[in-house]
């Protein structure tokens, strides 16, 4: 899910996986088939002996009622905290389905930053007043999530300071586009909210301009692109909506004036970036360096592992995947390359087989349609193989990615309804190939998303990946877990879902689909590797592209796209591999523990039932049962 395009820098869209603070600072036949040899190599994790205390207190009843009292108090605290947060973060609230503050536009100025700092200090103080041990397991997780979130917000604002150097933090078009497209209120009411919001547009962009200090060139360029896309929101379609709405003549006139004012403010910001910022000679490096990266990793990922450990694990996994690819390519070679001499070099052998497999792909104009057609097949497979229970009342709507969300390098993403409006549509955003691309660029992209890989992508983004996980997350009784979704768990689930489907026999357990899954999984593995290399080890574009097109077997366009994305985000690219590794380890641990009793369906449903919490906390709860 990209979701967002999960965590897309400055995307500002309704990405349910967007870490809250990104918006705060500114505006994701298991048992029948033995695990593939590749995966056998993946047992990095020692099976931990269960040392969690059992509930054997002689005063169980007293203890239970004490927990109930503490929980009730904590529930009140966290519900109030969330309501307070929404007022300061109306865009994020709206993205989560809480629409009370849709008409507010927060001006990202110094006064606002002081209010946020005071808010965090006050809430952290209140949090410290709760006895952690007195809470239920689920609330203990919420306690940790809230503490982490509050501390992360301060770190983002005071230490990372992306509100200064990331001009793409500011994009009014994105938030207005979401309000306009929302179904929560009738058109007239949505337009009134938009009108109130747009009245603040000049102040909003004035504050944005004042905030920009030592920006990176990459984020400034992204901001131009996204705000130009955002400008489209204030175009003829909006004027059309105003005309046909039930607003009074006076309201229409006022709104029309405000739209013109917003257009001018957005254009002024774009001009400022182009003329004053991008013409400058000195830019901050987009690389945040090891100290900031390690800390950001700890705050964003909340893994059992450190950033350095994940870097090591990813390199080991890279070797294991390569081993499996060589084995499968050797078996496929006679079928696809009959009569040709077998290359002595394994990398060459793998590449030659992959080059044949990727010839099958969607036509340039039919990419979005190809995605659309696959969704029912995936739904049926999950049902037929009893992998988990699906909810047919929550349909997935495949659409072309809205303009204001394009340009951040994510070809597909899921925009899901938040915990407050579970009835809203879940969108699977698929970006059509840009018309500006040459035939060669398009071919490169289409081969990357060939017929096999496109199925894996759809599993990842949609069913039973991000979309399915989000449906479960919205059922979770914990608002905190639904809101402060853990990116690594969300991305990890989507990657785990791919493997789980293939293990259940999706793709007929063929060497073809496994080889391309290995290649695909190599991608999330190398995401973790290059994230660290680029942000902390000064890796060059040339070296990164060489790694991705070499060991990663990626097409050049994909590799360049990844480089681009890795310059705009930090840590997020490590989340896929980290979460996946933790989930597979947990599944193996539970399988070991339950033996013949183990059921994939039970594991999946139980795992998802806790919402988007860090895997390490879900593990604690699942092992305690
Ligand atoms: Zn994903
Ligand atoms: Zn072709």
Ligand number nearest to the C-alpha of 450: 2
- Name 430's bridge partners: 400, 412
Q: Using DSSP, state whether 415 is helix, strand or coil.
A: strand
Q: How far is the CA of 467 from the centre of ligand 1 (A)?
A: 10
Ligand number nearest to the C-alpha of 362: 2
Q: How far is CA 438 from the centre of its chain?
A: 29
Q: How far is the CA of 446 from the centre of ligand 2 (A)?
A: 7
Q: How far is the CA of 523 from the centre of ligand 1 (A)?
A: 12
Q: Are 408 and 9 in contact (CB under 8 A)?
A: yes
Domain-wise residue ranges, the chain = 167-215+217-277
Residues of the chain scoring pLDDT < 70: 1-61, 407-410, 418, 476-477
- Where do we find the tokens 């080059």? 355
Note the pLDDT of residue 409.
53
For 436-480, write each residue's pLDDT tens digit. 999 998 998 899 899 999 999 999 999 999 999 988 887 766 889
Q: How far is the CA of 612 from the centre of ligand 1 (A)?
A: 13
d(CA 150, CA 221): 30
Note the pLDDT of residue 425.
83
Note the pLDDT of residue 59.
55
Q: Using DSSP, state whether 428 is helix, strand or coil.
A: strand
Ligand number nearest to the C-alpha of 524: 1
Q: Are 11 and 403 in contact (CB under 8 A)?
A: no
d(CA 224, CA 217): 11
Would the pTM of this model clear 0.85, i.e. be above it? Answer: no
Q: Tell me how crowded residue 572 is: count the other CB atoms within 10 A of its CB.
A: 28
Ligand number nearest to the C-alpha of 444: 2
Q: Are 44 and 577 in contact (CB under 8 A)?
A: no
Q: How far is the CA of 558 from the centre of ligand 2 (A)?
A: 15
Note the pLDDT of residue 536.
97
Those residues whose beta carbon sits under 5 angstroms from the ion ligand 1 are 1, 491, 494
In which region does residue 611 sit, left (phi positive, over 0), alpha (psi from -120 to 50) or beta (all else)? Answer: left
Distance set, CA 410 to CA 28, 82, 433, 491, 542 (Å):
11, 30, 12, 14, 21
- Residue 143 token pair: 């306690």
């Amino acid at each position: 899910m990209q979701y967002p395009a999960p965590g897309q820098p400055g995307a500002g869209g309704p990405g349910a996986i967007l870490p809250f603070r990104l918006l705060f600072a500114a505006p994701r036949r298991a048992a029948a088939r033995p695990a593939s040899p590749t995966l056998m190599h993946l047992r990095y994790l020692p099976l931990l002996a269960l040392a969690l205390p059992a509930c054997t207190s002689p005063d169980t009843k007293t203890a239970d009622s004490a927990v109930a009292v503490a929980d009730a108090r904590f529930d009140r605290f966290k519900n109030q905290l969330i309501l307070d947060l929404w007022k300061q973060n109306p865009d994020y609230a709206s993205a989560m389905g809480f629409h009370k503050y849709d008409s507010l536009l927060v001006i990202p100025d110094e006064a606002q930053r002081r209010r946020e700092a005071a808010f965090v200090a006050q809430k952290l103080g209140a949090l410290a007043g709760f006895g952690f041990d007195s809470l239920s397991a689920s609330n203990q997780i919420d306690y940790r999530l809230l503490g982490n979130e509050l501390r992360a917000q301060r770190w983002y604002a005071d230490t990372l300071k992306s509100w200064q150097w990331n001009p793409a933090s500011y994009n009014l078009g994105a938030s207005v586009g979401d309000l306009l497209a929302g179904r929560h209120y009738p058109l007239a009411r949505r337009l009134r909210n938009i009108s109130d919001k747009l009245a603040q547009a000049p102040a909003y962009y004035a504050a944005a301009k004042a905030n920009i200090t030592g920006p990176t060139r990459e984020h400034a360029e992204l901001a131009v692109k996204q705000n130009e896309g955002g400008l489209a929101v204030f175009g003829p379609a909006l004027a059309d909506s105003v005309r046909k709405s039930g607003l009074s003549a006076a309201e229409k006139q006022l709104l029309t004036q405000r739209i013109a004012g917003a257009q001018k403010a957005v254009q002024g910001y774009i001009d400022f970036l182009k003329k004053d910022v991008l013409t400058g000679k000195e830019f901050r490096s987009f690389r945040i360096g090891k100290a900031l990266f390690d800390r950001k990793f700890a705050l964003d990922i909340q893994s059992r592992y450190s950033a350095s450990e994940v870097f090591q694990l990813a390199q080991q996994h890279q070797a294991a995947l390569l081993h499996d690819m060589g084995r499968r390519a050797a078996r496929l070679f006679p079928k696809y390359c009959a009569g040709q001499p077998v290359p002595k070099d394994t990398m060459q052998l793998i590449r030659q087989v992959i080059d044949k497999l990727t010839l099958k792909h969607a036509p340039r104009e039919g990419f979005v349609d190809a995605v659309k057609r696959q969704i029912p097949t995936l739904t049926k497979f999950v049902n037929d193989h009893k992998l988990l229970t699906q909810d047919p009342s929550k349909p997935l709507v495949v659409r072309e990615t809205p303009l204001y969300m394009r340009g951040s390098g994510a070809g597909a993403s899921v925009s899901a309804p938040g915990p407050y409006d579970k009835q809203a549509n879940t969108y699977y955003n698929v970006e059509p190939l840009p018309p500006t691309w040459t035939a060669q660029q398009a071919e490169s992209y289409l081969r990357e998303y060939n017929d096999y890989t496109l199925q894996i992508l759809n599993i990842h983004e949609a069913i039973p990946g991000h979309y399915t996980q989000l449906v479960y997350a919205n059922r979770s009784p914990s608002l905190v877990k639904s809101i402060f979704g853990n990116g690594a768990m969300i991305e990890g689930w989507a990657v785990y879902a791919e493997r789980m489907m293939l293990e259940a026999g999706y793709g007929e357990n063929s060497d073809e689909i496994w080889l391309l899954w290995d290649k695909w999984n190599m991608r999330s593995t190398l995401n973790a590797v290059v994230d660290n290399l680029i942000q902390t080890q000064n890796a060059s574009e040339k070296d990164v592209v060489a790694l991705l097109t070499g060991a990663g077997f990626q097409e050049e366009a994909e590799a360049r796209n990844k480089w681009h994305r890795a310059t705009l985000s930090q840590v997020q690219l490590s989340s896929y591999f980290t979460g996946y590794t933790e989930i597979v380890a947990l599944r193996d641990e539970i399988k070991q523990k339950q033996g013949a009793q183990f059921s994939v369906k039970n594991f999946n449903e139980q795992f998802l039932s806790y919402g988007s919490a860090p895997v390490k906390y879900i593990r604690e709860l699942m092992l305690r049962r």
